[in-house]
A and B are shown apart, each in its own frame.
Chain A
Amino acid sequence: MRNTWIFYRKEMLEMLRGYKLLWIPVVFMILGIMQPISAYYMPEILKMSGDVPPGLLESYTLPGAAEVMAKSLGQYGVIGLLVLALSAMNSFAGEREGGTAELVLARPLTPLAAASAKWLAQLTLLVLSLGLGAAGAGYYITLLIGPLPWSAAVSASALYGLWLMCAVSLTLLFSACLRAPAAAFLSLAAAGGLALLHTLLPRPLRWSPAALPKLSAEALLRQEYTSYAWVFPVLSGIALIVLCFLGASLLFDRNKLPRF
C-alpha cells in the first residue's frame, strides 16, 4: 500500500513534468467546447461559406442542450481514445525497455503495487481530462444553447468515462508485455473491434462495455429512461478493467527486463 502511494506520486510527477497533465485535459476541453460553439455558430459558418441553398438557413434549428452534450461526449470516442492510448502506451513498456523497471523492481516494490500506481495515475488523468472537458462543454451549452440537465450530464460522462477507462486498461495490459507502439495499436484495434461488434450485433452484445457510449447518449436524450440497461455494461466494464489490471501485474512480473 505504502509503495503504491509512493510510486503513484512518482507517476503523477512524471505526467506533470512531461506536460501530459496539461495537454491532455486541454485537448479534452477543446473537443468538448467545439460542439456547442459550432452548433451555435453554424448559420454564420454556412453564410460565410457562400452559396447556401435558400431556405436552409431559415430551417436551421438549434439542437437541444442534451443533444449537444451527447455529441460533445461522442467526440471523445475517437480522438480522446487515441490521445489516451498514446499517452498510456509507454506506461509499462517505457520502464521495461528503458531499464528503469530493473532498478525499482529490485526494491520491495511489487509488480502488483507498481501496476496499481499506474492504474490510479491513468484514472486520475482520465477523470481530470474528462471532468474538465465535460464541464467546459456544459458551461458553453448553458451559455449558448440552454439549460442542461446536470445530473443526466454527470451520469452520461461517468458512463463514457468507464468506456474510456476500459480502453486505457487494454493499452496498459498490452504495454506490460509488448513494445509501446504495438500496445497502442492493439488496444485501439481491440476497442474499435468491440465497438464494431456491438454496432453489428447490438442485441446479443447489449451487456458488453462497448454498449456504454450508446447508454451514455441515452442517459442524456431520454431522461425518463429508467430501465436498468446500464447495469450489465457497467459490471462487465469494471470486470474488464480488473482483468486487465491483474493480467498486467502478472505480465509485468514476468517482463521486467528489456526484451532480448
Chain B
Amino acid sequence: MPPLLQVSGLYKVFHGQSSVDGISFDMEQGRCVALLGPNGAGKTTTLRMLAGLMNPSRGRILFEGNPIGDNYRRQIGYLPQAPAFYNWMTGEEYILLASRLSGMGGKAAAGHAAAVLERMGLQDAARRRIGGYSGGMKQRLGLAQALVHSPRLLLLDEPVSALDPIGRREMMELLRDIGKETSVIFSTHVLHDAEEVCDDIIMMNKGRIAEHGTLTSLRAKYNRPVIILRVEEAEEARLWLETLQTRSFILESRLEADGSLLLKVDDIASARSVILREAAERAIPLLRFEAGTLSLEDVFMEAVGG
C-alpha cells in the first residue's frame, strides 16, 4: 500500500525565482498535517500544486501511487486562502453545484448538501444569497463545499487566518473534528493553530521544508533544557545575573522582554543546583525560577531562522 500522498522534489519557479524550492514529503492516510510557515514561505503555491491548479516546474505528486488526474480531483476537497463564490447564488445552490460538479447524483447531492450545511451551522442561511454572508459564514461555506463530496484528502489554505476571534474559535472546533475523520493538510502561519489540530507539522521557510515531524518528535528533537530566571531590581542581583551568563554550563542566554533571563543549558541538574545554591548564599531576591524545555514557538523561530 503506497502512502496517500507522495511529494518528491517539488519546485515552482516564477520569473526565475523559486517560490517552492524542492520540497518532498510523504503523508499517510488519516493524518492531519500542518504546513507551518511565515508569509511568503510558499504554502499557497504548494497547496495550489497539490490541488492540481498549478503545474509544478519540476517534481512529482503521487496520490496512492498514481499521478494526479481527474479521478484525483473527485477525491480532494480544496479551500483556497480567500475563497470567492458566486455571490448571486444561495449557499444551498452553491453547495449543490459543487457536489454535482464532483460527480454526485441529484439525490445524493441534495442529501449531502443539507447535512454539510447543517454541520457548518449554515442551515438558516442556506436559502439566502452568498453576497450577504459575513466573513465567518463564507469561510464555513468554503469548508462546506470542500467537504460535501466526502473527499479523502482535504487541502485547506489558512482557513482561520482571516477570521475574527469568534469565527476562529468556531472554525478551529470544526477543524479538530474533521481532522479526526479524514486526511487533512492545512496551512497556517500561527504555530498555536497547528498544535491545536494536527499531529504532524511541516515547517516551511523560503520555499524549503525546514523541519518535518510529529509534534512529539519535534518537541523531543529540540528538547533543549532551559532555565528561566527573574530577580528583583537590585544592583547585586543584576551583577550576579551577568556573571551567570559566562558560566561554562550555559550554552546561550537571552534577556526576555519582561526582564527575565532565559538560559539554555547543557546539564539541567548541575545548572539548577549551582544557580539555586549561589542565589541562596548571596541572598538574591529571586522572583521566578523555572526549569523546563524550549517551547515549540522557539523551535519554529529557530527552524525558520527568525
Q: What residues of chain A have their CB less than 8 Å away from a CB belonging to chain B?
A: 3, 6-7, 10, 13-14, 17-18, 98-100, 102-110, 256-257, 260
Q: In the docked arrangement, what's the CA distance between A105 and B102, Å?
A: 10
Q: Would A99 and B84 count as touching, CB distance under 8 A?
A: yes
Given contacts A102-B53, A102-B83, A103-B80, 8 further A-B contacts (CB under 8 A): A18-B88, A99-B82, A102-B80, A103-B145, A107-B102, A108-B70, A108-B74, A257-B48
Question: What would be 12 A-B contacts, judged by CB atoms less than 8 Å apart?
Answer: A3-B101, A7-B101, A10-B86, A14-B88, A17-B88, A102-B53, A102-B80, A102-B83, A104-B101, A106-B51, A108-B102, A108-B103
Q: Does B206 contact A (CB under 8 A)?
A: no
Q: Would B85 and A100 count as touching, CB distance under 8 A?
A: yes
Q: In the docked arrangement, what's the CA distance between A103 and B77, Å?
A: 10
Contacts of B70 in A (CB 8 A): 108, 110
**Residue in contact with A106 in the complex, picked from B53, B86, B93, B97, CB distance below 8 Å:** B53
Contacts of A3 in B (CB 8 A): 101
**Residue in contact with B84 in the complex, picked from A13, A14, A98, A109, CB distance below 8 Å:** A98
- The smallest C-beta distance from B114 to any residue of chain A, in angstroms, reads 19
Q: Does B98 contact A (CB under 8 A)?
A: yes
**Number of CB contacts from chain A to chain B under 8 A:** 62
Q: What residues of chain B have their CB less than 8 Å away from a CB belonging to chain A?
A: 14, 48, 51-54, 70, 73-74, 76, 78, 80, 82-86, 88-89, 93, 97-98, 100-103, 142, 145
Most A CB within 10 A of own CB, among B53, B86, B101? B101
Contacts of B14 in A (CB 8 A): 260
Nearest CB to that of A99 among chain B residues? B84
**Residue in contact with A10 in the complex, picked from B48, B78, B97, CB distance below 8 Å:** B97
Q: In the docked arrangement, what's the CA distance between A201 and B213, Å?
A: 71
Shortest 4 CB-CB distances between A and B: which pairs? A99-B84, A106-B78, A107-B101, A17-B88
- The smallest C-beta distance from A190 to any residue of chain B, in angstroms, reads 29
Contacts of A109 in B (CB 8 A): 101
- The smallest C-beta distance from A169 to any residue of chain B, in angstroms, reads 24
Contacts of A13 in B (CB 8 A): 89, 93
Contacts of A10 in B (CB 8 A): 86, 97
Q: In the docked arrangement, what's the CA distance between A110 and B51, Å?
A: 13
**Residue in contact with A100 in the complex, picked from B84, B100, B101, CB distance below 8 Å:** B84
Q: Would A103 and B48 count as touching, CB distance under 8 A?
A: no
Q: In the docked arrangement, what's the CA distance between A102 and B155, Å?
A: 13
**Residue in contact with B86 in the complex, picked from A100, A107, A108, A110, CB distance below 8 Å:** A100
- The smallest C-beta distance from B112 to any residue of chain A, in angstroms, reads 14
Contacts of A104 in B (CB 8 A): 97-98, 101
Nearest CB to that of B98 among chain A residues? A107
Contacts of A17 in B (CB 8 A): 88
Nearest CB to that of B86 among chain A residues? A100
